[in-house]
């Protein structure tokens, strides 16, 4: 009988051992949840991304890039923004690059919104830029009416206001708008799908979604045309728009 009884000290050690194991498991579980939360953060926040424009969302090493020519006062762009974001989130081999194209019919509100997004990116980096774009889309009245006067971008700092009082964002927006017009792009949203491996690209007018966008990726990947870097628009007739 005596042999079946545990010494009080042995029992105490056993209890402390159990407590230590439980604490260790809880720490590991919390660490696991922390990693999962980090994995859900926007890819645009990755530290490997450049600190300035062109602003990119997604993996920096993705084979394909969707360049979106967009106007922050365009209601079609506003509706398309969450759709394209979900699609990019689901396709790790494609990233998303923003290209400002304020339309004359939406000025001056379109350029004011673009300046705000650019300055948010200058101050806070990739994630701040994309958060500002989402916030602008959620708060603007659209079609050139702009943001309500009483609405302010959350977390605005003196650095943001300094940027807004400078001409730095204007040169970026102007250069991107001019590049778009020289390429014959005058409507928003317009997409340019680029194969970063070959340099070939495909111009897609309108808010291309889902399987249609995936078909465009497949078409670009399968293209064997080595004579031009851009596939003609009539090559995309089989792509649903």
Q: What is the pLDDT of residues 103-156, one digit of tens each?
A: 999 999 999 999 999 999 999 999 999 999 999 999 999 999 999 999 999 988
Paired with 230 in beta bridges are 201
Confidence of residue 237 (pLDDT cuts 50, 70, 90): very low
Q: What is the mean pLDDT of residues 181-195?
A: 96
Clarify whether residues 9 and 102 are in a common domain.
Answer: no
Q: Is the pLDDT of residue 33 over 60?
A: no
Distance CA 51, CA 190 (A): 25
* Percent of the chain with pLDDT strictly greater than 70: 71
Q: What local confidence, expressed as pLDDT, does residue 49 receive?
A: 52
Which one has a higher pLDDT value, 63 or 27?
63
**What is the model's pLDDT at position 223?**
79
Kindly tell me if the per-residue pLDDT of 27 is higher than 50.
Answer: no
Q: For residues 24 and 74, state if they share a domain.
A: no
Looking at the fold, whether 87 and 133 belong to one and the same domain comes out as yes
pLDDT at 240 over 60: no
Q: Are residues 22 and 61 in the same domain?
A: no
pLDDT value, residue 230? 53
Phi, psi of 186, deg, nearest 5: -135, 10
59 and 24, same structural domain?
no
3-class SS at 60?
Answer: coil
Across 58-64, average pLDDT = 95
Q: How confident is the model at residue 160 (pLDDT cuts 50, 70, 90)?
A: very high
Q: Is pLDDT of 16 > 80?
A: no
| Per-residue pLDDT at 52 | 77
Answer yes or no: is pLDDT of 26 > 70: no
The answer to the question of residue 89 being in a domain is yes
Domain that holds residue 29: 2-39
The sheet carrying 201-205 orders its strands as: 56-57, 94-100, 64-70, 190-195, 201-205, 230-231
> Could you tell me the pLDDT band of residue 224, with boundaries at 50, 70 and 90?
low
- Residue 119 shares a structural domain with residue 146: yes
Number of domains in the chain: 2
The answer to whether residue 59 scores a pLDDT higher than 80 is yes
Identify which of 59, 73, 68, 62 has the alpha carbon closest to the alpha carbon of residue 203: 68
- Grade residue 50 by pLDDT with cuts at 50, 70 and 90: low
Nearest to 84 by CA among 198, 189, 239: 189
């Amino acid at each position: 009988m005596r042999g079946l009884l545990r010494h009080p000290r042995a029992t105490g050690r056993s209890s402390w051992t159990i407590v230590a194991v439980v604490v260790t498991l809880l720490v590991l579980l919390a660490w696991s949840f922390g990693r999962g939360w980090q994995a859900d953060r926007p890819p645009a926040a990755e530290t490997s991304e450049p600190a300035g424009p062109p602003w990119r969302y997604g993996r920096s090493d993705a084979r394909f890039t969707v360049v979106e020519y967009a106007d922050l006062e365009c209601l079609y762009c506003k509706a398309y923004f969450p759709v394209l974001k979900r699609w990019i989130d689901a396709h790790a081999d494609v990233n998303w690059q923003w290209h400002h194209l304020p339309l004359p019919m939406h000025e001056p509100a379109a350029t004011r919104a673009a300046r705000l997004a650019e300055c948010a990116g200058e101050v806070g980096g990739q994630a701040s830029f994309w958060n500002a774009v989402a916030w602008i889309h959620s708060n603007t009245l659209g079609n050139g009416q702009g943001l309500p006067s009483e609405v302010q971008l959350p977390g605005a700092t003196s650095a943001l206001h300094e940027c807004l009082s400078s001409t730095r964002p204007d040169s970026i927006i102007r250069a991107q708008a001019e590049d778009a017009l020289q390429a014959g792009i005058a409507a928003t949203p317009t997409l340019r799908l680029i194969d970063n491996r070959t340099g070939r690209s495909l111009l897609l007018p309108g808010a291309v979604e889902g399987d249609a966008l995936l078909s465009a990726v497949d078409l670009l990947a399968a293209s064997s045309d080595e004579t031009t870097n851009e596939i003609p628009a009539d090559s995309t007739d089989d792509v649903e728009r």
